[in-house]
Amino acid sequence: MGFEEIFAAIFLIIVLIMVLPGFITSNVISKQFSKNLFIWTIIVASIVLVAYLIY
């Protein structure tokens, strides 16, 4: 693994640690949780795709 991949992985883990507590507390309803999880999946997938295309 190159430095770029390690840096991207660390960045995504840090963002996950920062967002996860608020994400869990705001999603008590399972329907809302599913919707938010889907949105976050799209966001993370696009960030990974853009990072892959740049490098």
Contacts of 36 (CB under 8 A, 6+ apart): 23, 26, 27
Distance CA 39, CA 36 (A): 5
Q: How far apart are the first and last CA of the chain?
A: 13
Is the pLDDT reported for residue 2 higher than 90?
no
For 9-30, the pLDDT digits (tens) are 899 899 989 988 887 777 677 7
Looking at residue 1, what is its pLDDT?
63
Stated pTM of the model: 0.51
Angle at 18 between CA 15 and CA 16, to 5 degrees: 40
